Amino acid sequence: MLSSFYDTKNLKGDLTGGLVAGVVALPLALAFGVQSGLGAIAGLYGAIAVGIFAAIFGGTATQASGPTGPMTVVSAALVVKAIELTGSVEAAMPIIILTFLTGGIIQMLFGFINIAGYIKYFPYPVVSGFMSGVGLIIILLQIFPLFGMVSPKNTLKVLSDMPLLIEGFNRQALVLGSLTVFIYYTFPKITKAIPSALVALIVVSVVAYFLPWQVPIIGDIPSGLPSLKLNGILDIDSSAYALVAEYALVLAVLGSIDSLLTSVIADNMTKTKHNSNRELIGQGIGNMVAAIFGGIPGAGATKGTVVNINSGGKTRLSGVLHGLFLAAVLLGLSGLAAHIPLAVLAGILIPIGFKIIDTKGLKHLLAVPRADAVVLIIVLLMTTFGSLIQAVGIGVILASLLFMKRASDLGEKGLEVGTLAGFDGEQPWKDEQELYNTFKDQIYIKHLYGPLFFGFTSHFQETIKALSPEVKALIIRLDRVPYIDQSGLYALENAVLDLEKRDVRVVLTGLQEQPKDKLESIDIIPDLVSESETFETIEEAFEYLKNHFKL
């Protein structure tokens, strides 16, 4: 009977994957809960609810979901705003719970109306700038806790209050926090079998417990099953409705992007295909359940998902077990968790913040088109020091306006700006006909038309994935591509990397000045595609491939 809906061959892998993913999630759930301003218990409640229900109802079999850095930063900003409006955490809770609940409902609606089909059009500089800003926020807000002090509520205040660190810091807390960071970074050199964050959490917390040091700790964590937290959500003042709507929408959009990006990573690792709309519905349900019990919202967690897959997880049972493990911790070990120093959690979160920063995008700031770099920096600065919501909105508007300007300029020059053609039904050009007919089962040609920009990159990557496994080489013709932006550069880079793993040779022809300059500036040429594999004409490319494969 069990085998009719579950293959028991996967049970061992699902048990191992779920347990390891839960172990990875535990320190992060506690740390994100504290950073949110609602306490460690809110992080645990969120990790349990989202972990279990997103796995059951979601569209990615191996997804491990829970609180993430971006979602926590938005949640923390909401908590601060709600407290400013009401005067205390207790008075603000109805607003906070209603916002989390509404965010989950919106996310479910996204799944029902196929909003996932549009999220992929977010420009790379906007996503990169936002994520890097989130990473900086996490780092800045954990500096004071690392020194054993209470953190200011916003990043600007952190910077202005830096002089206070000199006189008021707790040396003992700083030692514990620094030791946590040291273990986090060095333990993987010994073994990666045990998550370094968990090792750092346990080792340093045990050391602190037995030393006669006075450092701030998490404090009491409620044990047992949580109670419903819906009291008062229908009685909030009408002045708070705008706040609820604003932050609920941002949580829904950000949670959707975060989850779908992780789903794509899971697809690449497992060679499967997730259901985007179902994934958003599952994440929405998980966040709704988390909200009604006072948990912070979450999304698909990349690190948890990766370790789940690498540890053998194959079905949604692994995600459910990851959540159940955290529930067992809540029921049995919450008293021990209360003694964890806040400096230790800061020592875990600061490296997480650095990991969230998009170093790839920042490293290429001087190499990518100037307009993309400007958008990335504006979004990064607005996210870090201003409004998270306005940062994303202004970033998308700027990127869209810049693209319209580019498209208009190209139109004035008489250039065609069309969608990218797929392999199915794509006809060879006149100069390809003879050789194409001879080698069409071994060599594919991809024609690109017009600028390769953020609106086309998703479709481009899909067509690359549709390549037949029999193909030995792919010729990408860029004769009619006058411009490539940052999203296009990274889409091309990812496509070449994917094809390289499949042992498919990639050659480029007809590169115009701007695309060639940008491909060289971030080392796609010559690191991924050598100079000897770029040609001015298709005839040269065919001659090279004939000699290379001895066709």
- Specify the length of the chain in residues: 551
pLDDT tens column, 437-462: 666 667 788 877 777 766 566 667 67
Residue 397, Cα to own-chain centre: how many angstroms?
21
Whether 451 and 410 have beta carbons less than 8 Å apart is answered as yes
pTM, two decimals, is 0.74
pLDDT of residue 59: 93
Using alpha carbons, select from 253, 246, 315, 308 the residue that is nearest to residue 283: 253
Q: What's the rounded Cα separation, in Å, for the pair 531 and 525? A: 7
pLDDT along the chain (551 residues), means of 10: 68 88 89 92 95 95 92 94 93 96 96 80 79 90 93 90 89 95 94 86 93 89 82 88 93 90 83 90 97 95 87 91 91 82 92 89 85 88 85 77 62 36 50 64 76 66 73 84 82 84 87 87 87 86 79 56
484 in helix, strand or coil? strand
Sign of CA dihedral 136, 264, 76, 34: negative
Supply 372's token pair: 């993309």
Q: What's the rounded Cα separation, in Å, for the pair 218 and 69? A: 19
Q: Fill in the amino acid letter for 234.
A: L
pLDDT of residue 423: 38
Q: What's the rounded Cα separation, in Å, for the pair 31 and 39? A: 9
Q: Quickly list DSSP for 319-363.
A: HHHHHHHHHHHHHHHHHHHTT-BHHHHHHHHHHHHHHHS-HHHHH
pLDDT of residue 125: 84
Whether 260 and 277 have beta carbons less than 8 Å apart is answered as no
pLDDT of residue 425: 47
pLDDT of residue 395: 77
pLDDT of residue 418: 33
pLDDT of residue 13: 87
Supply 378's token pair: 């504006």
pLDDT of residue 120: 62
Q: Where in 116-202 does DSSP place strands (E)?
A: none
pLDDT of residue 464: 74
66 in helix, strand or coil? strand
In 3-state terms the chain splits into helix, strand, coil percentages (rounded to 5) of 65, 5, 30
pLDDT tens column, 518-547: 888 888 888 888 888 898 888 888 888 878
Question: Which residues have a Cβ under 8 Å from the Cβ of 398 and sit 6 or more positions away?
Answer: 374, 375, 378
509 in helix, strand or coil? strand
pLDDT of residue 433: 64
Supply 420's token pair: 């990218």
The Cβ-side half-sphere exposure at 408, using a 13 Å CA radius, reads: 6
Residue 383, Cα to own-chain centre: how many angstroms?
16
Q: What is the residue whose two structure tokens read 């912070």? A: 296
φ/ψ of residue 66, rounded to 5: 170, -175
Whether 151 and 143 have beta carbons less than 8 Å apart is answered as yes
